C-alpha cells in the first residue's frame, strides 16, 4: 500500500477530523515496524494526526502529547504505538541511551516529533511537516518532505 502523500506533495487539512483521517490512512499504509517523523510548530496538529493513527490501530483511549514525558507507548490490538517528542532532547544520544531503538523495533509503529537528529538513522522513514495556514485557524498544510 502506498502512503497518502508522495514526497514533495502538500495537502490542506480542514479541521481536526481531517488531520485524524490522514493519521488513520497513514496507519493503514505504513508497514509494521515503521517510523514516521513529524515536524511542525506547537499546535500544528502533530498529536492530532497521531490520535488518528492510534484510533486506526484500535486504541480507544486518549492520546496526548508526550512533550513533558518524552514518550508514550500505547498498546493497540495491532501492536504498540510509540509516540516520541524529542523537542526537549539536547543530544540524540540521550534517546539511544533510553533504548529508543529497542522500543521502536518492538513497536507496530513509531511516531517521532521533532526528531530531525534521527533522520540519518532512518533514511526510509517518511517525514511530514504540518503548518498553520495564515488567516485560517482550523486549516493546516501537511507536506511530505521525504
Residue located via cell numbers 540519518: 120
The most distant pair of C-alpha atoms in the chain lies apart, rounded to whole Å, by: 42
Helices (H), the chain: 16-29, 46-56, 92-97, 100-105
**Residue closest to 63 by CA, chosen among 45, 40, 41, 78:** 45
List domains and CATH numbers for the chain. Answer: 10-144 (3.40.50.300)
Three-state DSSP class for residue 43: coil
Instruction: Per residue of the chain (146 residues), give pLDDT as tens.
Output: 578 999 999 999 999 999 999 999 999 999 999 999 999 998 999 999 999 999 999 999 999 988 777 889 999 999 999 999 887 666 666 666 676 677 677 889 999 998 888 888 899 999 999 999 999 999 999 999 99
Q: What is the pTM assigned to this prediction?
A: 0.90
Residue 39 main-chain phi, psi, to 5 deg: -115, 155
Amino acid at each position: 500500500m502506498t502512503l497518502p502523500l508522495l514526497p514533495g506533495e502538500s495537502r490542506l487539512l480542514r479541521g481536526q477530523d481531517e488531520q485524524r483521517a490522514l493519521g488513520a490512512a497513514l496507519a493503514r499504509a505504513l508497514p509494521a515496524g515503521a517510523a514516521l517523523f513529524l515536524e511542525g510548530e506547537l499546535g500544528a496538529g502533530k498529536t492530532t494526526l497521531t490520535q488518528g493513527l492510534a484510533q486506526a490501530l484500535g486504541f480507544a483511549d486518549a492520546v496526548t502529547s508526550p512533550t513533558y514525558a518524552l514518550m508514550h507507548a500505547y498498546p493497540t490490538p495491532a501492536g504498540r504505538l510509540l509516540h516520541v517528542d524529542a523537542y526537549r532532547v539536547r543530544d540524540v544520544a540521550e534517546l539511544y541511551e533510553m533504548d529508543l531503538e529497542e522500543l521502536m523495533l518492538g513497536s507496530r509503529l513509531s511516531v517521532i516529533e521533532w526528531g530531525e537528529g534521527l533522520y540519518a538513522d532512518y533514511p526510509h522513514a517518511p517525514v511530514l511537516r504540518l503548518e498553520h495556514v495564515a488567516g485560517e485557524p482550523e486549516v493546516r498544510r501537511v507536506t511530505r518532505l521525504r
